[in-house]
């Protein structure tokens, strides 16, 4: 990709024709035509909770950062302790501006390859060139690429994997079904671990993570082979395709923030409830963009916090709905909808610190009506990640 590349208006996913054959309703999202549903959002939501849904997330940005100084360079850009990340490990992190505002949230994997011993030359096995695999949000990937290019030193190489597709297999049956297709892979991975796998002669990167709160895997595959892989996975009885609508309702139940809604440059990790992404060591050492601003927020507190809200009745609150305590507005909904699992409306909102405690009674304005609500701990539905034995 050249420096003159710009984000196209609307692109088609590598699996566009596959989605349409499956009956998907396509909508524009993050610069792509994306499948929002096939048989229905609620049906796909429940199927993923009970079995396994296959989501096409190829709109996400897949990047490689390579070179001897790659870890130190990424440590200077984000609060994750990238230098301490062992090969095959995945970590959630953030790109921040100097004010501590969130430019994007992302996953970073130490993808440094192991080069086996060479029996002919007698050369011992060794680790190859330091390599880090980043998955960034689709709507921000072009800005992220520009930000990384601006701040990475010349000796570190940034590669946009724009010929790769990305599939997310999510649900309690994901491991069982994947094990039939790729024998032994699930047993080798726990939550936030990653590996390369040769599927026949097709190289894949498989990570045990996802965006639904369920156990699952994200699989990076060459775009031209994505249809073959999707067909093979959906041949398993537990797996059905699922769209953007179910992905959103699942991540809301899991209390996971969506960039551009629950997170943006006006929000910081402390008020956004993402302090876990700022390890104690990195908070103390600093040396990353936004550290001083975040340190001040840890020390002085923040005016607002991201919380969960449970609404009474059946009417959901959507993004932008105002949150009240009596006659005083104390917050704003950033994500909301009807929970298919819990069978009542839920939302995430930023509210003032004095109204952020669990159980606090509030009201949300929906269609000029004030709906009773209470602050709820996140996630709304417990996570079921596979963390190993």
What residues contact residue 226 under an 8 Å CB cut-off, 6+ apart? 14, 15, 18, 58, 165, 167
- Angstrom CA distances, 301 to 271, 294, 297, 333, stand at 9, 10, 5, 21
Within a domain: 296: no
Q: Are residues 341 and 211 in the same domain?
A: no
Mean pLDDT, residues 7-24 taken together: 91
Q: How far is it, in rounded angstroms, from Cα 345 to Cα 382? A: 17
Q: Are residues 174 and 247 in the same domain?
A: yes
Mean pLDDT, residues 6-25 taken together: 90
pTM equals 0.95
Within a domain: 80: no
CB-CB neighbours of 183 under 10 Å: 9
Within a domain: 79: no
**Which pLDDT tens digit goes with each residue over 200-245?**
999 999 999 999 999 999 999 999 999 999 999 999 999 999 999 9
Residue 51 pLDDT > 80: yes
The whole-number pLDDT of residue 389 equals 62
- pLDDT mean across residues, the chain: 96
Q: How far is it, in rounded angstroms, from Cα 112 to Cα 70? A: 11
Residue 52 pLDDT > 90: yes
Of 162, 181, 165, nearest in space to 221 by CA: 165
Q: How far is it, in rounded angstroms, from Cα 65 to Cα 73? A: 9
Calculate Rg over the CA atoms of the chain. Answer: 21
Within a domain: 112: no
**Domain endpoint, select from 228, 253, 278:** 253
The whole-number pLDDT of residue 118 equals 86
Within a domain: 132: no
Q: Are residues 245 and 179 in the same domain?
A: yes
Q: Are residues 176 and 239 in the same domain?
A: yes
Q: Are residues 188 and 333 in the same domain?
A: no
Between 31 and 2, whose confidence is greater? 31
The whole-number pLDDT of residue 1 equals 41
**Domain endpoint, select from 211, 233, 253:** 253
What is the H or E stretch that residue 328 is in? strand 328-339
Mean pLDDT, residues 266-287 taken together: 95
Q: Are residues 240 and 308 in the same domain?
A: no
Assign residue 315 the CATH number of its domain: 2.40.30.110
- Angstrom CA distances, 236 to 181, 199, 220, 350, stand at 8, 16, 19, 41
CB-CB neighbours of 199 under 10 Å: 17
Within a domain: 70: no
Indicate the number of domains in the chain. Answer: 2
**Domain endpoint, select from 212, 232, 253:** 253
Residue 171 pLDDT > 70: yes
Within a domain: 142: no
Within a domain: 95: no
**SS3 state of residue 140:** helix
**Domain range spanning residue 193?**
11-53+164-253
The whole-number pLDDT of residue 279 equals 87
Assign residue 209 the CATH number of its domain: 3.30.1360.120
The whole-number pLDDT of residue 257 equals 98
Q: Are residues 49 and 194 in the same domain?
A: yes
């Amino acid at each position: 990709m050249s420096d003159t590349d710009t984000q196209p208006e609307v692109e088609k996913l590598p699996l566009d024709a596959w989605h349409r054959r499956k009956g998907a309703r396509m909508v524009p999202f993050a610069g792509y035509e994306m499948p929002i549903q096939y048989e229905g959002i609620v049906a796909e939501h429940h199927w993923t909770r009970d079995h396994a849904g296959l989501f096409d997330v190829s709109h996400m940005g897949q990047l490689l950062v390579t070179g001897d100084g790659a870890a130190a360079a990424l440590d200077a850009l984000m609060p994750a302790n990238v230098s301490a990340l062992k090969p095959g490990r995945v970590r959630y992190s953030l790109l921040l501006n100097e004010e501590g505002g969130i430019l994007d949230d992302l996953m970073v994997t130490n993808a440094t390859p192991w080069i086996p011993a060479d029996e002919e030359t007698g050369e011992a096995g060794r680790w190859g060139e330091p390599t880090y695999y980043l998955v960034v949000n689709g709507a921000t990937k072009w800005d992220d690429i520009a930000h990384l290019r601006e701040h990475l030193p010349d000796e570190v190489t940034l590669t946009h994997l724009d010929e790769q597709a990305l599939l997310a297999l999510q649900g309690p049956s994901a491991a069982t079904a994947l094990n039939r297709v790729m024998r032994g892979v699930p047993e080798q991975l726990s939550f936030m671990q990653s590996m390369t796998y040769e599927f026949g002669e097709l190289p894949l990167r498989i990570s045990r993570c996802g965006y639904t709160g369920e156990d699952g895997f994200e699989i990076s595959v060459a775009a031209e082979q994505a249809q073959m892989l999707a067909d093979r996975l959906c041949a398993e009885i537990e797996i059905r395709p699922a769209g953007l609508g179910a992905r959103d309702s699942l991540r809301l139940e899991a209390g996971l923030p969506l960039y551009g809604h629950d997170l943006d440059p006006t929000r910081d990790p402390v008020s956004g409830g993402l302090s876990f992404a700022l390890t104690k060591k990195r908070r103390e050492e600093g040396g990353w963009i936004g550290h001083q601003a975040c340190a001040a927020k840890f020390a002085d507190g923040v005016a607002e916090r991201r919380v969960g809200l449970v609404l009474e009745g059946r009417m959901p609150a959507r993004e932008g709905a105002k949150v009240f305590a009596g006659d005083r507005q104390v917050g704003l909904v950033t994500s909301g909808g009807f929970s298919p699992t819990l069978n009542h409306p839920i939302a995430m909102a930023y509210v003032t610190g004095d109204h952020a405690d669990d159980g606090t009674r509030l009201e949300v304005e929906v269609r000029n009506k004030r709906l009773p609500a209470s602050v709820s701990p996140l996630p709304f539905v417990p996570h079921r990640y596979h963390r190993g034995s």
